[in-house]
Structure 1
C-alpha cells in the first residue's frame, strides 16, 4: 500500500465527514424540527446494533466483556453526540431568526 493510496483514503474519509456535517446543518436548519434528528437517530440505532452483535457473539458474559461492549457502545455514540450538538446549535440560530421575524411582523401592525 503506497502513501498516495493512504492519503487519498484519508481525503475521502474527511470528505464524507464534512458532507455528513453539512447535511446535518442543512436538515437542522429546516422548519420541521424532526428532520434534524434523522442522522443522530440512524447513528444511535447503528450503535445499538453493533453492541448487540458483540453481545450475541459472546459465549461467556464476563464483567470485562460487558465493559468492552459498553466502551464500544459509547465510542459509537460519539458522532451521535456531535450531530445532536450541531442540531441544537442550528435550532438555536433558527429560533432567534424566527423570533426576530415575528417581532418585525408585529411592528408592522
Structure 2
C-alpha cells in the first residue's frame, strides 16, 4: 500500500513538472517575434486530440453496430453515448485551449507594447 502511494505521489510530481514545463515553453515560444513558434505546441496537441477523437468515434460506431446486431438500441443508450462523446471531446481539447489562450494573451501583451512604443515615438 505504501509503495503504491509513493509511486502515485512521484507520478503526480512528474506530471505537474511536465505541465509547468509545457506552459513555460509555450510562454517563451509565444513571445518570440515570429508568430509561428507559438503555434507549434497547440498544433501538436490538436493533432493528438484528432487521433483520440477518431478512436472514440470508431469505438462509438462499433458499439452501436454491436448493439444493433444484438437487440436494438435504446434511446437512453444513444443519449448517454452522445453525451460521453461530447464530454470526452471537451476534456481532450483542454490542453489545446489552454495553450491557445496563453498564446493569444502573450501576443496581445506584445501588441500593446508595440502600440505604446509607436505612441511614444509619435509624441517626440
Q: Fold match, TM over 0.5?
A: yes
Q: Find out whether 1:70 has 2:86 as its counterpart.
A: yes
Q: Distance in 2 between matches of 1:35 and 1:93?
A: 16
Q: What's the C-alpha RMSD, in Å, of the aligned pairs?
A: 2.0
Equivalent residue for 1:83?
A: 99
What TM-score do the two structures reach when normalised by structure 1? 0.82
User: C-alpha displacement at 1:102, in angstroms?
Assistant: 3.3
Residue correspondences, number: 108
**1:4 pairs with 2:20:** no
CA–CA distance in structure 2, aligned partners of residues 10 and 2 of structure 1: 12
Counterpart Cα distance in 1 of 2:82 and 2:54: 11
Cα distance in 2 between the residues matched to 1:21 and 1:40: 11
**Rg (Cα) greater in structure:** 2
**1:43–1:79: 8 Å Cα contact kept in structure 2?**
yes
Q: Residue by residue, what CA displacement relative to the aligned partner does 1:13-41 show, whole Å, maximum 9, x if unpaired?
A: 10000000001101110111122222122
**Mind listing any 5+ residue stretches in structure 1 that lack a counterpart?**
none
TM-score (norm 2): 0.74
Mean CA deviation greater in 51-60 or 99-108: 99-108
